[in-house]
């Protein structure tokens, strides 16, 4: 199967039920056999809401710096070249660091269960520096 550019979308602040902030994406592979692939760019401070995936999710960080957080844990930093495996059913969020964009490709497996917005307090729990940090 050859996949050509599908459709681009943009979420504006305050108009989304899945994101906080401004987010733009390309639907590379809309739901096909339980797999969705999208490349998403988050403006600084933008992020997903809490969510989980029926069969897990793979993230590949393309550009910028970001954060990913599993429920009950502290956010962890993301940087270009990072790959992330999110296990099936794990409640999490991900998005840009406060001071930079983040672009990642997301491969979501099975259905996605969306939940509540990540609060400013939850987002602010992370340190704001990203230079020189090791994984």
The pLDDT score that the predictor gives to residue 17 is 78
Which range has the worst mean pLDDT, 25-39, 72-86, 93-107? 25-39
Average pLDDT, the chain: 86
Residues ≥6 apart with Cβ < 8 Å to 124 = none
Say whether pLDDT at 71 is over 90: yes
Q: How far is CA 43 from CA 60, 63, 67, 122, in A?
A: 17, 12, 13, 18
pTM for the whole structure: 0.84
Q: What is the pLDDT of residue 101?
A: 97
Going by the DSSP 8-state scheme, the letter that residue 117 receives in this structure is P
Beta-bridged to residue 40, according to DSSP, are 25, 104
Give the mean model confidence (pLDDT) for residues 100-111. Answer: 97
Closest CA to 97 of 61, 71, 59, 70: 61
pLDDT above 70 coverage of the chain, percent: 81
Coil, strand or helix: which one is 124? helix
Percent of the chain with pLDDT over 90: 70
For 29-66, how does the pLDDT look when each residue is reduced to its tens digit (9 = 90+)? 878 899 999 999 999 999 999 999 999 999 999 999 99
Instruction: Tell me what the mean pLDDT of segment 15-22 comes to.
Output: 80
CA angle 12, 92, 58 (to 5 degrees): 90
Q: State the DSSP string of 47-94.
A: EEPSEEETT-EEEEEEEE-EEEEETTS--EEE-TT-EEEE-TT--EEE
Q: Domains along the chain?
A: 19-124 (2.60.120.10)
């Amino acid at each position: 199967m050859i996949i050509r550019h599908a459709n681009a979308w943009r979420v504006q602040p305050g108009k989304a039920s899945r994101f906080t902030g401004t987010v733009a994406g390309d639907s590379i592979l809309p739901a096909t056999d339980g797999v969705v692939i999208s490349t998403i760019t988050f403006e600084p401070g933008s992020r997903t809401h809490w969510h989980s995936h029926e069969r897990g999710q793979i993230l590949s960080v393309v550009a910028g710096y970001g954060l990913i957080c599993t429920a009950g844990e502290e956010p962890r930093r993301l940087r270009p070249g990072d790959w992330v495996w999110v296990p099936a059913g794990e409640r999490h969020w991900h998005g840009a660091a406060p001071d930079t964009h983040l672009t990642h490709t997301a491969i979501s497996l099975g259905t996605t269960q969306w939940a509540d917005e990540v609060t400013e307090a939850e987002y602010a729990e992370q340190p704001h520096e990203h230079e020189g940090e090791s994984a």
